[in-house]
Structure 1
């Protein structure tokens, strides 16, 4: 806008884009004051920044949820061994980037709708109760958006502290899982050992008897019998025979129970393998404590005050444009916008009579009169009425013409039931017509 007393700086391309984002009318803003241009530029910048933060937060949340879960214990060992650790999963990162852009676009459009649909209040700095009541749905939506944006950003800000706490959580969880798993397998192994105890006790008994016989045989062969020299005498041979007999019984017992012993050993080996698998599975389960919910929980435990402050900060950023518009003092832009709206309504035949009546709840309502609609409706009603009158006139005229045709040529319309034409003779005195001779007396007349 350029006049003899005022000239606006030429708006840049970036400023016009911010106007579009905030829902400002470029035509009016270019003819308004510079302060109005700055207001809508700042408003558009806030909306754009909210959408960008939503994109980052959504992408990070997606990556945290769907990325392969890392074991914090192994991660720390890897860092200690190599001095470098890069846990980034490229496929998940690509998907998270796509989702982040999509999520940011959704929040951007919702936020833009909230800002553009919020009215300007009563045009004063004060925010009345009625204005807050009207803006309440938009405030609720803005609060929800602020929460969804703040939490992923919050856990990213505290990532180092959360990872350290997460390491302790995973370590404790892994220990608890290991204790429970080993206790479960110990009970099962005890049942298996109890089943095997009878066989093992018998074998151990045989082995003890064999050991005693071997000891006695060694003693007898070392000192000899009856003061003789060393050698195997009758008593030593009896010990050996008894030892061989017991060993034979043991071998027969083992042979008879071999299949059962092998089955127990096989089950024991299989159980040990299951124990190793379960311990590895416990490690995987404890590593799974790396999701978005667990990180948010840890962040609240570490710094509840800071977490609340960050949430309030994002709420302030998100709700600022709404409160800004409620506190906005009307300027030249607002009056020109109202003027253009009124001109558009007048051009299209729309009249609004404000506070015209009260509804059942006692609220004042506006009366909206659509003159163009009334005109077209009135014209359509008259056309339909004229068509109706013309149709009636056509039918009446056709009826009169048909009567004249019947009067002029009545015999063409009168026949007997047998299809014979009966000539009609008119009397001068207006009496009924007389039938010609040869016509049947009981014939009835019908109209063709």
Structure 2
């Protein structure tokens, strides 16, 4: 109970002397503040793990122990930070006008704290939301990863096909001439084979004059190809080399396909899919739930009526003011805008300032008196022995 009192910013000394209902109220307030900090720690740790975990398949992705330890450390720090902010918000909210009704003025004064509470609630709700729908999100995310793989594969194939075409265009005339020669050689080989097999019209099978002529033509074309390769060997070698480099680079990019697709497994993508899976209303009500938890202490304090604890706190404050010589005259004057302001008088500070002023004045008077007496003494010395101040000039010294 005392720990939860501290969480709510309650004074233990006063609460131990207040009513039991006051003790329960502040215990409940502290419980909400502590629970919010704990949920923030869990949500922050899970968000940290989702951001920094090793990327892999959304379905088959083992837990990384090192990232878990880092996420635990971050979650504790994050939870303590949110806990401290919530504790400050609740402590600084005050009691409003001391009635159960929440007026417009109270809402205006509490608006900055309400906005801070809304922001904190949203940061807590989103990681919790993606954890609630993790199974559905994993399935959808895996589908997107597979789609990304197929899309990336298609882009890689098209890109490298275009690059190979550009390469062939660069060596276009050489490649075209060689392809033409290859085509003629294949045609000559087919004609020679058909003639030997007796498939060339009415000509009998065998190695006759026509076959020999076809064989001579085939040998001539083959020799032309050898000569062509010899003449353009360096260019052809460079063409084949660059084609091979393109194919190697293409395979390397295809191997990166899965790695790039697995990069979709991030916090932002999971939040987007969570909204798709749950729909607007479910996501809205989850966020609304955390907002209610976060903002409950603020509205709760605005609705509290004055109780024994409040009177004890006011008495303590007045006693401390009296002990240190502080007087507050409420609604003493109006400022330039016509708003009534309190006049604060620090009697102890004014006493010290008055003493300092008096001591300074006395010191001035004593200094003045001392200077006067010094003057009188010096004047008396001059009267008694004027020669010690004015020495006559000797006539000899004057002539010299």
**What's the TM-score once normalised by structure 2's chain length?**
0.92
Which segment drifts farther, 305-314 or 200-209? 200-209
Long gaps (5+) in structure 1: 1-14, 76-84, 423-437, 444-448
Does the aligned pair in 1 maintain the 2:49–2:68 contact within 8 Å?
Answer: yes
Does the aligned pair in 1 maintain the 2:129–2:286 contact within 8 Å?
Answer: yes
In structure 2, relative to structure 1, the CA distance for the partners of 1:224 and 1:324 (3 Å cut) is closer
1:407 is aligned to 2:400: no
1:261 aligns with one of 209, 225, 236 = 236
Aligned residues: 394
Rounded to whole Å, the distance in 2 between the matches of 1:224 and 1:335 is: 128
| Secondary structure of 1:142 counterpart | helix
Partner of 1:161: 136
Does the aligned pair in 1 maintain the 2:188–2:217 contact within 8 Å?
Answer: no
Partner of 2:327: 351
Partner of 1:177: 152
Partner of 1:50: 36
Rounded to whole Å, the distance in 2 between the matches of 1:272 and 1:51 is: 55
Rounded to whole Å, the distance in 2 between the matches of 1:23 and 1:67 is: 37
| Secondary structure of 1:414 counterpart | coil
Q: CA shift at 1:92, angstroms?
A: 0.7
2:256 aligns with one of 281, 287, 292 = 281
Partner of 1:4: none
In structure 2, relative to structure 1, the CA distance for the partners of 1:413 and 1:248 (3 Å cut) is same
1:324 is aligned to 2:300: yes
**1:200-252 deviation line (CA, Å, top 9, x unaligned):** 122222332344345446659xx999xxxx97555554443343333222222
Q: CA shift at 1:169, angstroms?
A: 1.6
Q: Is the radius of gyration larger for structure 1 or structure 2?
A: 1
Q: Could you say what the CA RMSD is over the residues aligned between the two structures, in angstroms? A: 2.4
1:22 is aligned to 2:8: yes
Partner of 2:176: 197
Does the aligned pair in 1 maintain the 2:95–2:303 contact within 8 Å?
Answer: yes
Rounded to whole Å, the distance in 2 between the matches of 1:163 and 1:284 is: 17
Q: CA shift at 1:331, angstroms?
A: 0.5
Name the structure with the higher helix share: 2
Rounded to whole Å, the distance in 2 between the matches of 1:43 and 1:172 is: 49
Q: What aligned pairs does 1:297-376 form with structure 2 within 5 A after superposition? A: 297-303=272-278, 304-376=280-352
Q: What aligned pairs does 1:126-275 form with structure 2 within 5 A after superposition? A: 126-194=101-169, 195=172, 196-216=175-195, 219=198, 236-275=211-250
Rounded to whole Å, the distance in 2 between the matches of 1:231 and 1:129 is: 113
Which segment drifts farther, 398-407 or 267-276? 267-276
Does the aligned pair in 1 maintain the 2:53–2:67 contact within 8 Å?
Answer: yes
Rounded to whole Å, the distance in 1 between the matches of 2:266 and 2:369 is: 84
1:65 aligns with one of 42, 45, 51 = 51
| Secondary structure of 1:100 counterpart | helix
Rounded to whole Å, the distance in 2 between the matches of 1:232 and 1:112 is: 106
Partner of 1:31: 17
Does the aligned pair in 1 maintain the 2:181–2:221 contact within 8 Å?
Answer: no
**What's the TM-score once normalised by structure 1's chain length?**
0.82
In structure 2, relative to structure 1, the CA distance for the partners of 1:396 and 1:203 (3 Å cut) is same
Partner of 2:370: 394
Rounded to whole Å, the distance in 2 between the matches of 1:218 and 1:307 is: 80
Does the aligned pair in 2 maintain the 1:214–1:239 contact within 8 Å?
Answer: no
Partner of 1:98: 73
Does the aligned pair in 2 maintain the 1:213–1:242 contact within 8 Å?
Answer: no
Long gaps (5+) in structure 2: none
